[in-house]
Structure 1
Amino acid sequence: MDQLLARAGSQAVTFAIRSGITFASGYAVRTVTKFLDKIPESEKKKILDKRTKIRIKTDILGQAMDLIRLAAVRGNTSLEPSLELIEAVTGEIERFETKMSSITETLSSLNEKESVIEVNRCMDNLLTQLDEAIPLLQLSIATSGTTMKTSLSPSVSPGRLLQASSLVAKANDSKSPGSVGPVFDLVYYSVFYNPSRLKYIDHEDNKKVGVAKDDDLLAISWKEEFSRASVRILSTSTSKSSYQYSLEIREDHNDGRYHDEKPQVVVYDVKSVMRMFFSASGKLLKLESRSAPVLMFKLVDKDENEEWIALGQVGVGEFEDTSDSEEDESEDETPALQEDKHSSLSLLEYLLRLCALQQREQTPIFETSDEKLALYLQDENAKNTIYETSRQKRDRLLDEANTNNAIDFDSNMNRLKNLDLQS
């Protein structure tokens, strides 16, 4: 699916995966501080100097590790060996933290001298490991051509970015969980895999865009789960100093259709969003009935299960004429969802980028470095619009109509063949 969206030239962003070294080194430094509080002043100087060196070097390594992990996720295979080194260094820091905690807990006047010697030995060993890792990671970054730029992509909208950052900052100031930004009125899609579609597709056209005849991506299509949905970002953290967000997609039955079941609600942890793709045309989802922009998500849960979803803008005036009964039903809706709804996918995209940054880094957006902010706002693809002539569009619509008719006929024939007729 990543390949398909990359071919389509959509705007894309991959969220950085935290290496964990920042957290690990933070705990390690704090354990050293606890040990320092329990020993005489005469023994502190060497340990203080080494603690400072460890903090500085882990800060440097943290930036390099984040950059390497992000580049590796985006397909830079030359950095894969460096990931093993990153895991080894992170493990070394965690073992150091465990050892320091053990020494501090068992410290007494009887073993004070031996404990100080052991702590100095552990710190020297960790510094040696860091000194060996830093040049190797720098060499890996240099040879791969990966860079960490502070300049923003030309596709980044300063107005939307300021609007989104203002809404996120407002939510940060709130002491209780709640919505981040407005509620969005959108369409919710999920992926549908239909292998029988492969034999009806014009493979000559696909060769022109580099798609193989047996490419399973051609069997992927999208289906409309909720024709209308109320979408919002929720802050679920109970602590003002931590950040936790979820994406709530609530089915809205005020869509002019008949429903005999209760509205469904789907919730995703923002941390599970690995990639986002934006396209100015519904053509990317092969949805000819909708030409509005779409925003796609690659989700990966804690068990490494992958899922793809998409959100699309509703048509202008599509749901303006609602019946009285539908209005009555909406009275039972969550009060926060009864407010004026927005349909701007670009605002939702920027809100998600900033919330993902805060949740993964556990740092307010206004305290984030320019380099890290640029990573979360970077556009991986230069183009986000798909152009076609009117004749190409007419021919494509005719071909796809014939394909869909053939698929329907084939599906019905298969059902007849599978019927177990009793005489």
Structure 2
Amino acid sequence: MGDRVSHPGTPAWRYAIGMFGTSIPINLIKGSMILFYVDILGLDVRAYGVVMVIYAVIDALDNPLLGHLSDRTRSRFGRRRPWLVVGAPMLAACMIAFFSAPTTLEGMGLVVWFAVFAILCEAFDSLLNANYGALLPELYPRERDRSVANSLRQGFQLVALVISLAVTPLLTTQVFGTETTTEGFQTTAIIYGVIATAVIVFMALSARENPRYSTRSPLLPSLWSIIRNPTFWTVGVVGSLYGVAMALVLSGVQLYVRYSLGLPVANALYLQGLVILIAGGGLAVWTRVIVRRGALWTWRLAFAVLAAGFAALFFATDLVTALAAGVLLGAGWSGMLATNDLIVARVLDADAARHGEHREGLFLSAFGFFARLNGIFGGLALTSLGVFFGYNSGADPGPDPGLAFRVYLCVYPFVLTAIGAIAARFVSVPLEPPPEAAEPAEEEHTR
């Protein structure tokens, strides 16, 4: 019994299914926002880039506060559950509004609508993920148990991605709408919002939190101790290279299919679907590698495979060659899904062991600062397409939008992940501590 999860009462599958609920809304938003606002509604890419930078800055500032409030919450329902139950319907409502922009909006009116609901969606998504992610190291202290729970939740995330990314183009442009209208996006957002809310609440009500983990540390001293942690910076910066690369993929794959491959947007279903299936099937393999070689060694290997996948995708000329490259891309992505959160969790374990209190919410929100780079780099990357290739919007695509989105989807992510693969060789993380080391010293208990 010594290898079983030391914090009983939360089945791994029920915790893991929460990832399905948290993934559907944000991936619908990130996967369709450029197509919806830039290509269909005609939002200028320069305005898009400015909004992305602003929203990234706002999100970087509010994330630590949200995580800190979660850590300090004391209620009979726990620290994380109240935020999850309240945040889920709020994110769903903002997502529906995001895809309900009136088609009569133009100019500054369209920019304001886009900015307001993009910022609100990202804020509620951050709230949900900080609380959901904080439960992983608390509920599953041992890396073996944690890797299983993490692989399960990444599997649920991939199922959500099949729906929110691969199936979405079919739903929005053929089932509920057309290639040039917006009605399909609104209907799809309503359906996804209801599903996501139900799943997140179902998961949250089952989470058995440890009341001993509540903390009362002030915000600024806690934040300062995190900022002074060198591992926070090395893991955060290198991990952000992977995050930015995948954010570019999520936001640009539909337009890559349209312009670079010269196919209807609905064909994104096949490319995204294959990549997701390969990633899902590979999770069990990568988990076995983690058990044998450790999370850090496996993380470094996955980075290199992912970079090779982006290089292969650049040379694809039709759906068949894109699918072939997608196999390698999916394998690398699967490895990153299986390992990246485990690397972060090691840092959280070491912090809890060192300071004698659990600040997972604040720590993950601080890591979220690096995730906010996704918006900044995404906005700059899209703006660069106007500068270098003349792509300003769907109404003004420039002379070679195919090359523009080949660079956006392949070249930029390859450079980022190649740097990450090299930098990961120089990253070290704390050894896995025994679960007892993370318990508050004044409230030790036996198992």
Question: Where is the strand percentage greater, Structure 1 or Structure 2?
Answer: 1
State the structure with bigger RCO (CA 8 A, min sep 6), 1 or 2. Answer: 2
What TM-score do the two structures reach when normalised by structure 2?
0.29
Structure showing greater Rg: 1
The structure that is helix-richer by fraction is: 2
With structure 1 as the length reference, what TM-score do the two structures score? Answer: 0.31
